[in-house]
Every structure is written in structure tokens, then in C-alpha cells.
Amino acid sequence: MLEDKQPALTPLEKLGEFGLIKHLTKNFPLENPSSVLGVGDDAAVVDFAEEKTVISTDLLAEGVHFNLGYVPLKHLGYKAVIINLSDLAAMNATPTQILVSMALSNRFPVEAVEGIYTGISLACKKYAVDLVGGDTTSSQSGLILSITAIGKAREEDLVRRSGARENDLLVVTGDLGAAYMGLRILEREHALYLTNPKIQPEMEGYDYILERQLKPEARKDIKKKLKDLGVHPTSMIDISDGLSSEILHLSDNSRIGFRLYEEKIPMDELTLLTAEEFCLNPTLAALSGGEDYELLFTIPPKDYDKIKNHPDFTVIGHAVSKSMGNKMIARGCHEEINLTAQGWDAFLRRWPGT
Amino acid sequence: MLEDKQPALTPLEKLGEFGLIKHLTKNFPLENPSSVLGVGDDAAVVDFAEEKTVISTDLLAEGVHFNLGYVPLKHLGYKAVIINLSDLAAMNATPTQILVSMALSNRFPVEAVEGIYTGISLACKKYAVDLVGGDTTSSQSGLILSITAIGKAREEDLVRRSGARENDLLVVTGDLGAAYMGLRILEREHALYLTNPKIQPEMEGYDYILERQLKPEARKDIKKKLKDLGVHPTSMIDISDGLSSEILHLSDNSRIGFRLYEEKIPMDELTLLTAEEFCLNPTLAALSGGEDYELLFTIPPKDYDKIKNHPDFTVIGHAVSKSMGNKMIARGCHEEINLTAQGWDAFLRRWPGT
């Protein structure tokens, strides 16, 4: 798919590093008043006046975080931005700028890089974020995308991982496990394609979970929704590695334990059906699948009435003393199961349970 | 050198991603008042009150920007930080924080990564910069280092690339070409080593140029020196790709031309001697070698008296109208030679003239 067979493809050498950067960034206007200086100088300049600067960075490596065999470049660019914006949402900050660094081997023509930037541009527009800098260079092999996202927040709005207290309620946005089941579909169809390139992939009917995997969204909307409800979370994190791993992070940073109720974990109907198709316990997809980019947070018990019945929020557990540890109360039997960090570990390069 | 032969080496899997990050960052205290929140949450938080936030990012790829055959990991970590701090110095900003992202294949044991972090830590201490975040993950092959540096500057102190005016003087700090000649020595000795590993490398007497290549420094000191002299540059850039390429950037951004006087280019005696040893025109090393991390800036002619005879500054040319183009006045014959972007282009992966 990426080989230089089509007549119109342009090798990277033709533009050179500075030419490529100019070419790729010409359609990225600065929209935020806080963007003082963007691409084209030694550094970007941003100005948040009385608000604090919030910064997050994530690096995606080909073959580790994505497989270009079934991830379109446009989606890769979009998702790479989303992953970083999600980190800012998890601080209750408002994203405003990104810097994009990229290393790519010369197997990629200019058009491939343009595809990535098309996705980056779509995400920038949708989330009102400005591209203000970055670095583009070659690599010996493969593609590396390193994005830094910048946002702003007033001190009183910031939510750290460390503020949860005993008896706080554990709340999650949206539904979980869908992105992982979407990945399983993509992997299955890609494996079939490799055995016989003439087979048409069977993607029909899986739209929701495929979109959750290929085109996730960051919960930038939650900051305003919580503010409107008068709720200020005591701690918050985004779900990138899986519910289990994120609960353990909140536990670790806040020095408390958690009780999670399996039957409360919100999951979409299609996630459940697809898990059944793969003979997989859907709870595992939620606990360890990751890439949901939903927000997990804690609120004081007194705020329960403010969020109950809200379509975006589900109470899935509560905080207990640290000595009681982190456990999931299983559906039906009410057995207590220890929560372990089974989230996807980039060093093990494997999905748990597979 | 990096193979896992010594008994004490620890594979990366043993610590896992979160364990490795905790292990590597435990000795990085937050020293700057502006560092509100560091490693260990979804994002870092910085606060510069009335000053602006200045941000730069650079990505280094093994085999493209460095060769671990002759670059010690500690030096690589140090230099990767310096490159970013140099970009902030070029904005006349004060560096305060960095974020470090790294992708590395499992051929690297934990001890190798510790070596990189030792260098990062040394640079942080020397430049009073806090490590506040980052990402660590695996790669399919090789090592990628992506660093984002954050600094602060008052609006009135910031220097962009775009403010040079006709008749402004072109000034450079320190001396040029040494880092490139250091690289040539390293490459020569490494090539000899590859033909016969028993040969001891001949590094004696080359200390200055080797240090300029392996352990460069960022000119963080220049901001204060210029302030003390009462000089505010009209434009500024750091010399990472070579004098020629940087002059063209200032020309492009400020919409003017330049005249550079070859005989004025400051070069160290050892740089000149080593160039002679390699039968190389030393001016080429200054014009196209790069990696000097000195600052190139313009000042109004009226400020000449303030900087003349200062040991850190050399006037090497002046700005002319855009239509007159960018030319170097050759030593002796006074021939006018067109300046072209012969800086090291990461896509061409070659040094000009080699």
C-alpha cells in the first residue's frame, strides 16, 4: 500500500526537510488567541495570561502502537492527536496547541506524510487546537510520531490523579472495551487478507467498534459538563491502558483502594456481541483492552445526586482505605477479584489474554 | 558495546513501562518555582505568571542523528537536551522544563537507558531545568529520542527570526566548525576500529573539537550578557544546521539579504589544523557542518560599539536589501559567492562535501 508504485508519488528527498515542513504546515492557521508564534521559528510561543500551562506528550511507534497494514494514515494522524488531547482532558484542562514530531523512513512518499497531516488537521479543526511546531526527520526504518499537546487551566479547575478520598464514588464516561474489540476485528480481517489478498474484509455491522479503534475522540466536552453540573472531581485519569490499570494509578497516586462493580461497567451492545463472537469475556476487554480514551474520575459522595441518570456518566465503584486494596466485585457470585495492571504494556508488546 | 553480555544487565521487560519511568525519573527533583506538577500524572503543569511560555521540540533518530558506535549514551542524553535548550536560547528565552520521550528496541538493557538519563540529568542540573514528563515505549529497531523544552520570556525580551532590517550587523557567538571536525575524527577512528578492533583510537590532542561534537553546550548565558550590554537583537537563530543555512533562514523570515565576510568567521585553531589534516576547506565546516549550537543574531548598527571587542561576539557581516541576495565575500580575492542551504539535510543523510 505504501510502496512507490503509483506515478504521482513524490519521494521525500525532493522537498527536503525544510521544504517538507513548509509544505505540510501551510494549511494550519493559528486560531487561538494564546498562540503567539507558531511554526517557522526556533520555538513556539504561547500565552495563557493568568491560566496555567498544561503539557503532555506521547510517542507512537510503528509495529508497536499501530500497524499500517490496517490503519489508514489519515486515521493514524487523527488518533495520535486525540491520544494527547485526552491526557489534557484528564487534567480538566482545555487543549489549545500541539507540536508534531515525526521520523520516517524513505519508504514513505510525500503523499503518505500528507495523509498523516490530513488527519492531524482534522483533529486540530474539530478540537480548536493550533499546530505550532515540531520536527520532521528521517528514520532508519518505520514511522515514529511524537506529539506534545499544550493546554490551559485555572488552578482551581485542575484535577490531578492524587486527590481521591475514602468513600468517593468512582465514575466513568461513555462505554468501555469497544476499541479493543474493534482492534480484534481489524486483526482478524488483516490476517485473512494476508493469507488471500482477494478476500474482501468483513467489516459490515462493526461500525461503532471500528470507529472507536480507528477514530477515537477525546472527552474535551466533559470539563464543561462537569462545570455545568457543579461537580469538581477529586481525581481523574484517562483510559488509555485499560480500566484496571487506570484504577491502580488513581489508587497509587491517591493512596486509597477501590471497589469496582463488574455489573456496573458500561459496555455497548456491539462490544458484548463481538466479545461473544471471539469467545472472550467482555469484562476483560474493558479492564485490559485500553484505548477507550474515556475519563475515569472520583467525586465526593455528596455529589451523587448531581450526576445520577446523566447519560455521559456511570458510577462503577467507590474508594476504600488503602489497606483494603483494589478489587472487582464479580457479577452474580459477588466474588472479590484482585485488580492487577493487565493494561497493555508497550514493553511486553502483547495484549493480555491473547 | 550494547549487547547483553555482561551479567549485571537488566532487560527492559523486567521493569515494564511504568516501572521503568518511575525508576528513571526518581532522581529528578523539581527545582523551578514554575514547575507546578511533574512526572506521574496525565500531564505536567507549569506556571509562568506574566511571562510567556516558549516551547521547542526536536527528535533524534539512531543512524540519522547519531551513531552509537562512537557516541556514548550519557553524551547522547546530554546533547539531546542541549539541542532543545539551544532553540530556547535562540528565542532569548530562559529554559525551565523538559519532557523526554524515548522509543527503544529490546536490544537496550535498562542500564543503557540509565546511561541516557544520566546525561539528561547532568544537563538538567547544569541548566537548572526540570524534567516534568515524557513517554517511554519500545520500537521495532533502534533508538529514538524526542525532547520538548519549555521556557519563559517576557514579550519585550523575545527575539524572533523575522526582525532583521537592512544595514543591521550580523553577529555570531563563540567559534564555528569545531563540532563538524570532531565528528570527522570520530568517524575516522570508528572506521579504523571496524577494520581492526585492536587498534586504539587516536583521540589525543583533539579534545576541544571532540567535546564540541560529543558534549556541546547551549548559549543560555547570552540572554544575560546581551541584557547587561543593553543590546536587544532584532533577529536570532541557533546554529544547528550550519552558518549558511541559518543565514538563509534569517533572510527568509526577515525578508532581507546578507553579506557574510569569510575572513571574519570565528574558528578555533584546532578546527583549522584538523581541517588541514583532512584536506578540507575549514570555511565549509563552518558554513555547512552545523551542530555548533552557537547563536547567530542581528543588531542595529548603532549598537556596534556596545559589542565590539567583547570576547563572546564576532561581527561577521551585515544585512542588505532582499533583492541583493545572500552572498559570502571570499577571503583575499573578495569574490562574491552565493550562499546556499548546504546545511546537513536529515533527508539526504549526508554531509555536504563528503
Contact B92, B223 (CB under 8 A): yes
Q: How confident is the model at residue A139 (pLDDT cuts 50, 70, 90)?
A: confident
Q: Kindly determine whether residue A237 and residue B40, on different chains, have CB atoms separated by under 8 Å.
A: no
- A90: closest chain B residue by CA: B42
For residue B251, what pLDDT band results from cuts at 50, 70 and 90?
Answer: very high
Nearest CA to CA, how far is A85 from chain B (Å)?
Answer: 10
pLDDT tens digits, B109-145:
888 888 999 999 999 999 999 998 888 888 887 899 9
Q: Which is it for strands A336-338 and B336-338: parallel, antiparallel or unpaired? A: unpaired
Amino acid in the structure at residue B164? A
Task: Find how far residue A271's CA is from the centre of its chain.
Answer: 18
Q: Which residue in chain B has the smallest CA separation from A349?
A: B138
Chain B closest-CA separation from residue A333 CA (Å) = 33
CA B52 → CA A34, B45, B46, B76, B87, distances in Å?
Answer: 10, 14, 11, 29, 15
List of chain A residues whose C-beta atoms are within 8 Å of the C-beta of residue B53: 45-48, 53, 150
Q: Please list every residue in chain A whose beta carbon sits closer than 8 Å to the beta carbon of residue B163.
A: none
How far does A47 lie from chain B, in Å, by closest CA?
5
What rounded mean pLDDT belongs to chain A? 89
pLDDT for the residue numbered B39: 81
State the Cα–Cα distance between residues B85 and B79, nearest whole angstrom: 10
Mutation site for A-interface testing, chosen from B12, B94, B140, B148 by largest number of A Cβ within 10 Å:
B148
**How far apart are the CA of A138 and the nearest CA of chain B, in angstroms?**
6
Of the candidates B144, B326, B185, B72, which has an alpha carbon nearest to the alpha carbon of residue A57? B144
Query: Which segments within chain A are labelled E, that is strand?
Result: 35-37, 44-46, 52-61, 94-104, 130-138, 143-153, 169-173, 235-238, 257-261, 295-299, 313-320, 326-329, 336-338
- Cβ of A40 within 8 Å of Cβ of B102? The answer is no
Average pLDDT over residues A268-277: 97
Q: Please, how many CA atoms are within 13 Å of residue A329, restricted to the half-sphere of its CB?
A: 11
ipTM: 0.85
Compute chain A's Rg from CA coordinates: 21
What is the strand order of the sheet A295-299 is part of?
A: A235-238, A295-299, A169-173, A313-320, A257-261, A326-329, A336-338
Mutation target among B20, B59, B131 for the A interface, most CBs of A within 10 A: B59
Instruction: Report CB contact under 8 Å: B54, A61.
Output: no
Q: How confident is the model at residue B292 (pLDDT cuts 50, 70, 90)?
A: very high
Q: Any idea what DSSP says for residue A258?
A: E
Q: Quickly count: other Cβ atoms within 10 Å of residue B309's Cβ.
A: 6
Per the DSSP assignment, residues forming a β-bridge with B59 are B146
User: For residue A150, what are the β-bridge partners?
Assistant: A55, A97
User: Does the distance separating the beta carbons of B349 and A57 come in below 8 Å?
Assistant: no
Closest chain A residue to B50, measured at CA? A49
Q: Show residues of chain A in contact with B130, CB under 8 Å.
A: none
How much is the average pLDDT of A250-261? 96
Q: Which of B36, B55, B63 sits opposite A43 (nearest CB)?
A: B55
- Residue B236 has a CB neighbour count (10 Å cut-off) of 28
Task: Give the pLDDT of residue A342.
Answer: 63
Q: Is A267 exposed, middle or buried (0-12, 13-18, 19+ CB in 10 A)?
A: middle
Tally A–B CB contacts below 8 A. Answer: 233
Q: What is the pLDDT of residue B354?
A: 32
Question: Per the CB < 8 Å rule, is A101 touching B59?
Answer: yes
Q: What is the pLDDT of residue B343?
A: 44
Q: Which residues of chain A make contact with B141, given a CB cutoff of 8 A? A: 140-142
Nearest Cα of chain B lies from the Cα of A103 at a distance, in angstroms, of: 7
Cell numbers linked to A102: 515525526
Cβ neighbourhood burial of A319 (10 Å; 0-12, 13-18, 19+): buried
Q: Can you give the pLDDT at residue A218?
A: 97
Our CA dihedral for B260, B262, B266, B271, rounded to 10 degrees, sits at 140
Taking CB atoms and an 8 Å limit, are A41 and B253 in contact across chains?
A: yes
Strand partners, A318: A169, A259
Question: What are the residues whose beta carbons fall under 8 Å from the beta carbon of B166, sequence distance 6 or more?
Answer: B256, B319, B320, B321
pLDDT of residue B342: 63
Write out the DSSP string of B104-136: E-TTS-HHHHHHHHHHHHHHHHHHT-EEEEEEE
Contact A47 B42 (CB under 8 A): no
The least confident of A145-154, A191-200, A270-279, B245-254 is A191-200
Cell of A135: 520536527
Residue B334 pLDDT:
81
- In angstroms, the separation between the Cα of residue A49 and the nearest Cα of chain B is 6
Whether A353 shows a pLDDT value over 50: the answer reads no
Closest CA to A84 of B268, B303, B44: B44
| Probe site for chain A from B146, B235, B254 (most A CB atoms < 10 A) | B146
- Model confidence at A345, pLDDT cuts 50, 70, 90, reads very low
Strand locations in chain B (E): 35-37, 44-46, 52-61, 94-104, 130-138, 143-153, 169-173, 235-238, 257-261, 295-299, 313-320, 326-329, 336-338
The H or E element that residue B22 is part of is helix B16-25
Q: From residue B187, give the alpha-carbon distance in Å to each of A80, A207, B103, B183.
A: 37, 54, 25, 6
pLDDT at A344: 41
Find residue B350's DSSP bridge partners: B345
pLDDT, tens digit, 9 for 90 and up, residues A170-209: 999 999 999 999 999 999 999 988 888 888 877 889 999 9
